[in-house]
Chain A
Amino acid sequence: MIRVLVTDAAIDVAGELDALERAGGGAVASFTGLVREDSGVEELFLEHYPDATEKALRDLAAEAMQRWSLEAATVIHRVGAMKPGERIVFVGTAAAHRAAALEACAFLIDRLKTDAPFWKRETRGKDARWVGERDSDRDAADRWKR
């Protein structure tokens, strides 16, 4: 079962984990990304490519489902304006055993960062700037190539 959602509403992590636990596996792993509080950012705005975003996430989830024989994969990404401490992204996996669930979860968040069309803009006071690409994100995504 694949669940993909791009939304401007808050992410209900408890509800998503509950659904993954009912997928029939023995292991559930998840990652939650938050707007960082420590860098003076007052607002984070997430722009996306509406028609292409959901397809990119769905393709990644399908690849993870097949590669790790998952019972379920969930990918949820916020868009629009967010405050520090709010959830930006949630990735969850359900599998028969922990190794598959944990690896597939890491794969999904690493590849999401380089393969899905989202862009972050940070606002500090009157200064709004688009976040640049990070080499470390590209390296993290590259380790899943085979």
Chain B
Amino acid sequence: MATIDLLYFAWVRESIGIGHESATPPAEIADVAGLIDWLAARGGGYAEALGDKTRLRAAVDQVFVPLDASIVGAREIALFPPVTGG
């Protein structure tokens, strides 16, 4: 799979310790949930931020998507908590 830009926001960003990185997930990872599991397996702040998928939301190429959405061909994936603006 090609390299993907990963963005993290709010407490996801704080737990992981960075707001942005590039990654090349293995080709068998097809959806956002699979990507989250792959990242969480790095342990440490990743496991802390990404261990409970019910607390997470995602956007693929800046469009909000459910966690079973495909990441095939994605260039930018953002992981974050439910939004709280307004």
Interface residues of A (CB under 8 A from B): 33, 46-49, 51-52, 55, 77, 88-89, 109, 112-121, 130-134, 137
For chain B, the bracket of interface size reads: 10 to 19
Tell me the nearest residue of chain B to A46, going by C-beta. B85
Task: Known contacts A119-B10, A121-B10, A130-B11; decide if A113 and B86 are in contact (CB<8 Å).
Answer: yes
Total A-B pairs in contact (CB under 8 Å)?
A: 71
B42-86 contacts to A (CB < 8 Å): 59, 62, 64, 78, 80-86
Interface residues of B (CB under 8 A from A): 7, 9-11, 13, 59, 62, 64, 78, 80-86
Tell me the nearest residue of chain A to B19, going by C-beta. A47
Cα of A134 to Cα of B78 in the assembled complex, Å: 21
Cα of A131 to Cα of B62 in the assembled complex, Å: 22
